Amino acid sequence: MKFFVDTADVQAIAELNDLGMVDGVTTNPSLILKSGRDILEVTKEICGIVSGPVSAEVVALKADEMIAEGRKLAAIAPNIAVKVPLTWDGLKTCKVLSGEGFMVNVTLCFSANQALLAAKAGATFISPFIGRLDDINMDGLDLIGDIRTIYDNYDFKTQILAASIRTANHVKDCALIGADVVTAPPSVIKALASHVLTDKGLEQFMADWAKTGQKIL
């Protein structure tokens, strides 16, 4: 499974990228706001750090304007994936831009039917939002499973990019279901390494090592 990091924080991206933990990056208007930087500037910098897809989102609501914005974003670097919302205009935009050879990430997906439409429109990635479904007492992981089944039934090439990842368990469960990609904040990716028994075992090893009075260096 591929790991995308969901942030516009270039330092966090570079740190994870150096460890080989980043296969791509996703951004959105909220993350751009949090970065406090110009979207074109920060996106270009991110594209220079990672070799994989970097999702940059359009902000227009009508297809013609979305297409124009998408082309401008795609011109930043060859590894840009233009991010469009799962609306009818977003699907029109996806069809045009994917037909022009650009990667397209269709975002804000909350149903299997939406995911089916995105695949038909030629999306490179579909981004179902797990955490936001959990927030309204629906099981976001069920949606990942439904999309996986539908895509496998018809051999759709669109990759399932599980988004709105809140916990380490979300990552594990997405991997078990067969999501192609998860995109998560740096804190969640780092949390995958944590386990209370690892901490407890290390504490015991260090205590025993201190009693030996030895040094390696």
pLDDT band, very low/low/confident/very high, at 14 (cuts 50, 70, 90): very high
**Mean pLDDT in residue range 109-132:** 98
Rounded Cα distance between 171 and 192, Å, is: 8
Three-state DSSP class for 15? helix
**Mean pLDDT in residue range 93-103:** 98
Rounded Cα distance between 184 and 191, Å, is: 11
pLDDT for position 29: 96
pLDDT for position 170: 98
Give Dmax (Cα) for the chain: 72
User: Is 211 among the catalytic positions?
Assistant: no
Domain boundaries, the chain: 2-212
CA-based nearest residue to 37, from 11, 3, 74: 11
pLDDT for position 113: 98
CB 131, CB 168: distance < 8 Å: no
pLDDT for position 143: 98
Percent of the chain surpassing pLDDT 70: 100
pTM of the predicted model over 0.85 = yes
**Mean pLDDT in residue range 119-128:** 98
Number of residues in the chain: 217
**Mean pLDDT in residue range 143-168:** 98
Considering the four listed CATH numbers 3.90.1640.30, 3.20.20.70, 3.30.1490.20, 3.40.190.10, the one that applies to the domain covering 2-212 is 3.20.20.70
CA-based nearest residue to 26, from 3, 45, 48: 3
**Mean pLDDT in residue range 67-90:** 98
Per residue in 183-215, pLDDT (tens digit) is 999 999 999 999 999 999 999 999 999 999 999
Tokens read off for 45: 């910098």
Tell me which amino acid residue 137 is.
N
Which of the following is catalytic: 44, 62, 83, 211? 83
Tokens read off for 160: 């399932």
